[in-house]
């Protein structure tokens, strides 16, 4: 039975690298995979999933208004899909996460999603919240804080290197805008005086 998976972490943990490696493993065995990424995320080029270590692959794009179940029905009519991969899954809407669950449940296509759990304010992204609630399997991809502890939070920086504490939840930018921290050091940075 196909499942919906959510692999989550903070920035710079290697989620896209894992996605690309998993897709490659299927393709190496002659199996078809389809990759998706948010349309507005063009850091690796429009319609490309790219990793910091230089791997990349062509991908379909999704927008907030897209019905992913219908898209997968069309793609499956073109040939069997062994596995579907979605990068930057935090940008999915709640409805789209349910559509991906239906892809697994009704079209029998395993769906592997990868994304951030929380934003720079420590708030869940809508797509991540729904994935945490309904995914069949959750997998944490670990990275570390400068202190050596597991990083679970991220801080957004401005162009001068100052911490941003308010603003839009979504700002697609380079990796230099984000720093991963453990909860304690995130709290120290985001709530000056909390450590006193």
Phi/psi for 92 (5° steps) reads -70, 150
User: Which of the following is catalytic: 65, 73, 88, 140?
Assistant: 88
Residues paired with 8 in a beta bridge: 115, 140
Could you tell me which residues are beta bridge partners of residue 85? 35, 112
Residue 88 designated active-site? yes
7 and 139 Cβ atoms separated by less than 8 Å? yes
**137, 138, 143, 148: CA torsion to nearest 10:** -120
| Residue 33: closest CA among 94, 88, 89, 76 | 76
Is residue 80 within 8 Å of 88, Cβ to Cβ? no
Within its chain, how far is the Cα of 108 from the centroid?
22
- Known catalytic residues are 88
């Amino acid at each position: 039975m196909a499942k919906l998976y959510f692999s989550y972490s903070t920035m710079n943990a290697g989620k896209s690298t894992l996605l690309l490696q998993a897709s490659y493993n299927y393709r190496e065995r002659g199996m078809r995979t389809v990759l998706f990424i948010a349309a507005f995320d063009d850091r690796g080029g429009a319609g490309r999933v790219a990793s910091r270590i230089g791997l990349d692959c062509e991908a379909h794009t999704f927008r907030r208004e897209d019905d992913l179940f219908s898209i997968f029905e069309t793609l499956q009519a073109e040939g069997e899909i062994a596995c579907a991969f979605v990068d930057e899954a935090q940008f999915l809407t709640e409805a789209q996460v349910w559509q991906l669950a239906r892809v697994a449940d009704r079209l029998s296509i395993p769906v592997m999603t990868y994304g951030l759990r929380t934003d720079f304010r420590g708030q869940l992204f809508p797509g991540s919240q729904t994935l945490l609630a309904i995914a069949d399997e959750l997998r944490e991809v670990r990275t570390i804080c400068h202190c050596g502890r597991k990083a679970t939070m991220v801080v957004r920086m401005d162009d001068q290197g100052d911490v941003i504490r308010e603003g839009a939840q979504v700002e697609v930018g380079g990796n230099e805008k984000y720093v991963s921290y453990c909860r304690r050091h995130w709290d120290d940075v985001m709530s000056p005086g909390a450590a006193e």
